[in-house]
Amino acid sequence: MFSEFLQYLFTGITIGATYALIALGFTLIYNASHVINFAQGEFLMIGGMATVSLMAMGVPMLLAIILAVVLAGVLGILLQRFAIAPAKQADVVTLIIITIGASIFIRGLAQLVWGKEYHVMPNFSSDEPIRIFGAVLNSQSLWVLGIGAILVVGLVLFFTRTLIGKAILATSMNKEAARLVGIRTQLVLMLAFMVSALLGSVAGVVVAPITFTSYDIGIMLGLKGFVAAAIGGLGSGVGAVVGGLLLGVVEAMAAGYISSDYKDAVAFSMILVVLFFMPRGLFGAKVVERV
């Protein structure tokens, strides 16, 4: 009984940590530009797929990962510069459609380069699973959690201790005022997209050995990240992490105790329940509408 519960908990926390990283990516871009980036999931796909294909070419794993993450970062900058920046006057829906167009485009490119097959990535370290109270923990899960934790701490330091991080925060609070004090807001927005892409691609790399990877893996993972960000409250970093972990655990429990066919339905029902009682998510800022 207990070992079963523990097993679901491990699975949930592992996938939840991935959701949390994706949600943080959403949060970052949302804070900087109030755009919901539906291409967020594609950064994950790029991270996993590029790593796998570089390794197949004989590049050592660590270097392959670094190159893949850099590639995703460049893609993030390009996305902001050539798709989001030119459309700054556009409606919210129009921006959503632009990012959807971008995600279809990136997915199409990936399909051209890497084909439609599933690709397998080896674990970072041993394949030997760890046994705790009868439950099995994949060693890769530890990597996911560890790297996730490091990234979250890194982000906190980045936003509180570095000038660039503070510039992003300032831009998200008030763009005009930020520009007045000499922050180059366009550059800051590009940076926000880049950091978000880095986060996404790292999440994609660490989770790839568990879930496999393919050109279309970004769609569902991206949506789950959006769900996690909305549960936590759009714009809240703490919310993104809590939302991600919560979503992962609830999903794993639903798959284990109810039905794996309905685990996604449980995730989407959860967001409806949360929004019903808290229209701005768990940690969303209370905003007074100015007229």
- Per CB under 8 A, residues contacting another protein are 30, 36, 83, 86-87, 89-94, 96-98, 100-109, 111-112, 223, 226-227, 230, 234, 261-262, 264-265, 268-269, 271-272, 275-276, 279-281, 289, 291
Residue 42 to residue 52: CA distance in whole angstroms: 15
Sorted by sequence, the CB contacts under 8 Å of residue 156 that are 6+ apart come out as 237
129: its two tokens: 């699973």
Minimum Å distance from CB 246 to another protein?
Answer: 15
Comparing CB distances to another protein, the nearer of 117 and 289 is: 289
- φ, ψ of residue 119 to 5 degrees: the values are -115, 145
Q: How far is the CB of 144 from another protein (least distance, A)?
A: 25
Q: How far is the CB of 79 from another protein (least distance, A)?
A: 10
Minimum CB–partner distance for residue 61 and another protein (Å): 29
Question: Considering beta carbons, is residue 86 or 154 the nearer one to another protein?
Answer: 86
Residue number with CB closer to another protein (65 or 254): 254
Sequence-distant (≥ 6) Cβ neighbours of residue 72 within 8 angstroms: 43, 46, 47, 50, 197, 198, 200, 201, 204
Dig out the tokens for 78 from the structure.
Answer: 């390009």
145 or 221, CB closer to another protein?
221
Nearer to another protein, 109 or 170 (CB): 109
